[in-house]
Amino acid sequence: MAAAGMIQTHKQTARQAARDIAAGVRSAREVVAAALARLDALEPTLNACIDTFHEPALAQADHVDARRAAGRPLGPMAGVPIVAKDNLCLGQDTYPGRTTCASRMLEHYRSPYTATALQKMLDAGAIVIAKANLDEFAMGASGEHSAFGPTANPWDPARTPGGSSSGSAAAVAAGLVPVALGSDTGGSVRQPAAMTGLVGLKPTYGRVSRYGLVAYASSLDQVGTLTHTVADAALALTIIAGHDPLDATSAPHPIDDYAAAPGQPIAGWSVALVEPAGPVHPAVADALERAARALSASGVRVSQGHLPHTALGVAAYYLIAPAEASSNLARYDGVRYGHRAALAPGEGLQALYTRSRTEGFGPEVRKRILLGTHALQSGYHDRYYGRAQRTRRLIQNDFTALFADGIRAVLMPTTPGPAFRLGEKLADPMALYLEDAFTVGANLAGLPAIGVPMGLTPPHPSHKHTPLPIGVQLIGRPYDEAGLLALAQALEAAQGPTSPTTPTTHGNP
């Protein structure tokens, strides 16, 4: 594939690529081959993917081209290359890859079925070119807790792309694909979106099926998307949203016309600007002010809002999520699932359990399992887990009160600052946990939220500092993804989307 062809392809949004393929302007094979070539060129620097699917992806592209040549109908994502976070199960019928959750515990696991959200993308014609790297079992905020090594930020490879959907974000930001699926338990789609200049959408809990999403914290997990544009986020949500009888938590709530949502009028709507409870980078504060001005210029009434219990969100989250992880990950014991350790003659079942879990799980996962197990112990359950659940209710009530007062969405920062350097916060777990300070509230309340890029940090006078993306987020009413997409479109129109060609792997945007 010629370099010029590669450049033209990786500039495209999903909508543009699908239109070109359907019109015969470009073949699906050409688009997918260019994506694979770009992945091969950049992957040694990014480490964004765990498994890649060259031959299966090209075979699927040929199938799309054959359908078009025969005049058969094509899906809305026909021929569009995507990646999926490697905690989403992918069956073996077409793509003979693994579902590892970036863990040695599942290093060799091959799922017999495909996650519902991912299957819907495949049914719409999308072509999976890779499974994306992540923090092990989605436990992390920097992409550094993977058994397969850390992922680099395409804007500056010395920095994190955020986590836990690190590979998904890096793949889209580097122009490998226009759309990636991720998961958001406490901000794991929105936080990396902010750090890589992308649109990150976390739907309402229950809006998208969790069937086939390997569980971390079942009351918090939600499949989400990472894209360059709000329109592509709307397209992806249109495809993956909907009730699924295979998921008991999937909601039978009507689906809005998400594709039309970005263009709907927003004049007269009310948005609450919630100032950060803790310290933020000056560029974050500036982005928040510019976002508020952009919404006001679109006719939105922006007022000051207050979420009094937001500051307690991290503490509540890091009790509830590990407690649920302790339960969910108990199945990985070397007997029922996962890595099985070798035993010396005479060693028993207890040694098998202990060694299998010690060898299979990384240190961050082991730490969270231990924390969650302690929080659920008799004598501690009400003191820790019970209190965290009561705090969760207070956080939910704060949002409910704002929405009852006529507020359509809440405007907040996404992260305290831009992407930080790899390794910078590994020795300080609390600093890493506080990266989720502004994102966990939406998960605890089960609300939809969308992260939108709002420019870059200013250049450093020494010219040694790469300008880095900054994002803001909007948190909406339950099942009002359409409203969030409309508001996000106004921000995108004011700021302009981050071009797929802007990031590089050399730190020179």
- The residues annotated with a catalytic role in the active site are 85, 164, 188
Q: Which two tokens stand for residue 289?
A: 């002010």
Angle among Cα 489, 492, 493 to the nearest 5 degrees reads 85
Q: Say if CB 126 and CB 84 are below 8 A apart.
A: no
Which residues are paired to 270 by β-bridges? Answer: 301
Of residues 32, 450, 402, 384, the one with CA closest to residue 201:
450
Angle among Cα 128, 219, 51 to the nearest 5 degrees reads 20
| Burial track 192-212 (b if 16+ CB lie within 10 A, e otherwise) | bbbbbbbbbbbbbbbbbbbbb
Q: Which two tokens stand for residue 34?
A: 């260019």
CA distance 414 to 192: 9
Which residues are paired to 367 by β-bridges? Answer: none
From the number of C-beta atoms within 10 Å of its C-beta (0-12, 13-18, 19+), residue 412 rates as buried
